[in-house]
Amino acid sequence: MLPWTALGLALSLRLALAQSGAERGPPASAPQGDLLFLLDSSASVSHYEFSRVREFLGQLAAPLPLGPEALRVSLVHVSSQPHTEFSFSQHSSGAAVQDAIRAAAQLMGDTNTGLALAYAREQLFAEAAGARPGVPKVLVWVTDGGSSDPVGPPMQELKDLGTTVFIVSTGRGNLLELAAAASAPAKKHLHFVDVDDLHIIAQELRSSILDAMQPQQLRASEVTSSGFRLAWPPLLTADSGYYVLELAPSAEPGTKRRQQLPGNATGWAWAHLDPATDYDVALVPESNVHLVRPQHLRVRTLPEEAGPERIIISQARPRSLRVSWAPAVGPAAALGYHVQFGPLQGSAAQRVEVPAGHNSTTLQGLAPGTAYLVTVTAAFRSGRERALSAKACTPDGERSRAPRPTPPGAGGRGP
């Protein structure tokens, strides 16, 4: 039995620890965020490689400050169809996450990484999956370097929404493609390492993940050719001060635009900007209550959306036409096209939808010997559209047939 003095000291120490938050889990200053591991579980990965990567992810997650009000972790498999091993709200400690990762079984199947990335984007921003609005989002994708479907477009959508992307390649892979898929700078967010040496990068990668989760982080998302959206965590309150947001082209710092925002603001969208231009952004908190340092960011707008060019009409038949065009390419590639067509001498028009990645379609059900106006419109992520029109004419049905031989002496002078 403890003496009264020792018991009182123990109770006092326990009370002090409780008041300081040591018994309530991570302190208020602990980083918050949602971390999603994307694990290649397809048949392109050997059982040995899968087990080594699985062990690496468990070791990576175990020391992280996980908790309901701190970091949360989810694991998604890459296979023929994406599969969630566990959601963000399922485990609240590093040990539990490590055990859950170690218990994950390889699914085999195809390496449909693009499909898994689109699924991961939904999971990272879906409250039903345990994700939280307003906290940093981080994706760690471990791959052998290959994919059965395109990775670029869904990865860009993730980054446009403010997700920080780390890539660990255990195979050869394509350096340029993976560097473009990872967040910038690539030297910090892309790692090439042998599957048996993954432990070498664990501490560095863990530190980088925690840096990406820091609350004082000005971020850009929804970047288009004419604008972007900024977001930052609450640094002030409506009663403690206000923000001054500054924007200027990097090449012309004297042409600065300013916007004053209340202290409870956490975002702002800049519009009417020039395409393919670097902009320097400064977020300056103004407060008489406490000092908060300004934050700076450089954002490059996308190239101007280029619509379809050189509409080509081919395979003209009495009741159909083949329409082709040069597609919109590059970072501002179109999300899809719609082709509208109708007779020049009439008001009725029809529309055909063409998915992204295709640049031709066949128009059916046309009238023979009729002139048509064909308009191809490209739709972009920014909501803008670019169109190009051309005239086309179907051949007459009778004239398209082989001419009949003329009887001797018919239709002309006799000898």
Does the domain made of 309-393 have the CATH classification 2.60.40.10? yes
229 pairs with which residues across the strands? 221, 269
Looking at residue 132, its amino acid is R
Bridge partners (DSSP) of residue 299 are 279
Q: Select the CATH number that applies to the domain covering 219-300 from these four: 3.40.50.2000, 3.30.70.270, 3.40.50.720, 2.60.40.10.
A: 2.60.40.10
Q: What is the pLDDT along the chain (415 residues), one digit of tens a residue?
A: 444 444 344 434 443 433 433 333 333 456 788 999 999 999 989 999 999 999 999 999 999 998 888 899 999 999 999 999 999 999 989 899 999 999 999 999 999 999 999 999 999 888 888 888 778 899 999 998 778 888 888 998 888 777 899 999 997 677 888 888 898 778 889 999 999 999 999 999 999 999 888 755 788 888 887 899 998 888 888 888 999 999 999 999 889 999 999 999 989 999 999 988 999 999 999 988 777 778 888 898 887 766 677 888 988 899 999 999 877 655 556 788 889 999 987 767 889 999 887 889 999 999 999 999 999 988 877 677 788 888 999 998 754 444 555 455 444 444 3
Q: How is domain 33-212 classified at the CATH fold level?
A: Rossmann fold (3.40.50)
Domain with CATH 2.60.40.10 in the chain: 219-300, 309-393
151: tokens are 């990775």
DSSP letter for each residue of 346-367: -S--EEEEEETT--EEEE-SPP
One-character DSSP codes across 248-314: EETT-TTS-EEEEEETT--EEEE-SPPTT-EEEEEEEEE-SSS----EEEEEEPPPPPP--EEEEEE
Q: Tell me how far apart the alpha carbons of residues 407 and 119 are, in angstroms, rounded to a whole number.
A: 71
Q: Which of 186, 190, 196 is nearest to 145 (CA)?
A: 190
Which of 235, 219, 211 shows the shortest CA–CA distance to 71?
211
Give the angle subtended at the CA of 43 by the CAs of 40 and 49, to the nearest 5°.
60
